[in-house]
Chains A and B, each alone.
Chain A
Amino acid sequence: MTSYMIRKFKDKLAFILSFLCVLVAIIPLGSILMEVVKNGAPALSIQFLTSPPGAVGEAEGGIASSIQGTLILIGLTSLIGVPLGLMSGVYLAEFGDNVLGRSIRFFNDVLMQFPSIVVGIFVYMLMVLALGSFSTIAGAVALSIIMLPIVARTTEESIKLVPNSTREAAMALGIRRWRTIISIVLNSARSGIVTGTLLSIARIAGETAPLIMTILGSQWFFAGLKAPMDALPLRVWRLALLPYDYAHQQGWGAALILIIIVLTLNVGVRFATRGRYTGR
């Protein structure tokens, strides 16, 4: 073999190997989706979706309280995390070209990659110990700490996409800077901001670790902001660890519901913004 042929061979090999890497990554995804659907679908029934968990060891019961819990958490967390993240993103994009802005941005990126269980411990100390009980609100606070950097980053990037000519037009009309930002710039950036927010919701909907030590989990429906509550990811975990078959099946069922929520948000958002471009 000439050295040229060897080089050509290596070239082809590189292509094949890198393509194989892609395949290797796709296989687990396919398996997960398949298994969740295969094992979870049989568990789904009206009763399953509308009743709270039964006593341990009993095959009756469902995940209604978990679904309710997840939805409540999503709502509460967004209430806290979205305005905070939005304003942070606004600051970084419009006023952030200075030392303060750069450090905030840096630590924002750091917080984004943080172990969520540590966030859980933090909120446990801050709120659970202080208030004396595991609570829904503590869970929401923990999740909003996870949500904040994501929303801030996507808001900043969406705002930066709005061309300067739009801002100039508004300023030239005699509109104040803050008015310009809120009514014109944010408006123009809204599809990017909404996308980022929905994706962050998908992320927190699946978070389990911080919930362990904040909302604790429960057999009952929502009992007030200061009481423990259940959520889908927590229930999946607890069910998976029980030694009963029915529990495992219920776990798959809960996982199916959870994955439907998460993937709908993810896929829906990407689909809706395909081909659309912000800002012009």
Chain B
Amino acid sequence: MSNTQPTNLKESAEGYKIETENLNAWFGKSHVLKEISLKTKENAITAIIGPSGCGKSTFIRCLNRMHELVPNARVSGKVLLDGKNIYAEGVDPVAVRRKVGMVFQKPNPFPTMSVYDNVASGLKLTGLRDRKKLDVVVKKSLELAFLWDEVKDDLDKSGASLSGGQQQRLCIARTLAVEPEVVLMDEPCSALDPQATAKIEQLMTKLEENYTVVIVTHNMQQAARVSDFTAFMYLGEVVEYGSTRQIFENPKNELTERYITGKFG
């Protein structure tokens, strides 16, 4: 029922970074994702929109194997990262999560660590000790996250002492520091005020130069502003998927049109 590739796509040399094939997910008996086959373009921003409960958060949590951390959660089907199935036998989920990073709805910097330590945490815990190299990575990550200027004079202050928007950018920097290839964002701005949101949207646009970004959002205007491709989900299925422009200006499916024009959700 769902499309596998975005419609109206200009042919380009770029390929698909993450593809799902017949992805299903359950919470116990509850069938939350139904036969999702979706391909997301590399170095682009793909937005997943849909009403509450349609399964969009569950979907992206399947992309970095976080879904299975919930007791009684189950997955079937394939998720291909650069052509390789991350759910294949013997694949280490921890390695997957280093390639596919995630930013959460509520900013969650590590409470007892400084700004510096937060950003460096992923690296330190996987073995990097060289202070000079850490310094470089921390700075670059904070710059990419549009946070460097605001914290550069006091990297030792507690991560929790920053404002909400700053904390979220800190979390983004932390994710970028381990150099993932894909960055997943689960409603990253819903706990933030408009100025903070604008900053993050700005940085997302910069991010897509080097990363594949998949963002879940309930804010349609945000999806329209920021993303290249949009998928509309409803009740666990992808109803329509195409370039953002097409979805918002010329939706092919009636459900899509009703959601976009605010008739439900």
Contact = CB atoms under 8 A, between A and B. Distances in A.
Contacts of B104: 165, 168-169, 172
Contact of B111 (A172, A183, A280): A280
B224 interface: no
Contacts, number: 70
B121 interface: yes
Interface stretch (A41-49, A144-152, A174-182): A174-182
A166 B95 contact: no
Contacts of B95: 174
Contacts of A173: 97-98, 101, 121-122, 125, 174-175, 178
Chain A contact residues: helix, strand, loop or mixed:
helix
A96 interface: no
B94 A175 contact: yes
A170 B102 CA distance: 10
A187 interface: yes
A135 interface: no
For chain B, the bracket of interface size reads 20 to 34
- What is the interface residue range for chain A against chain B? 20 to 34
A171 B122 CA distance: 10
Interface string B155-176: 0000010000000000100110
B110 interface: yes
Nearest to A176: B94
B69 interface: yes
Interface string B55-73: 0000000001010010000
A80 interface: no
29 contacts: A163-B108, A165-B108, A168-B69, A168-B104, A169-B104, A169-B110, A170-B110, A170-B121, A170-B125, A171-B66, A171-B69, A171-B97, A172-B101, A172-B104, A173-B97, A173-B101, A174-B94, A174-B97, A174-B98, A174-B99, A174-B122, A175-B94, A175-B121, A187-B110, A187-B112, A187-B113, A188-B111, A188-B112, A190-B112
Interface of B: 64, 66, 69, 94-99, 101-102, 104, 106, 108-113, 121-122, 125-126, 160, 171, 174-175, 178
Interface of A: 163, 165-166, 168-176, 179, 183-184, 187-188, 190, 279-280
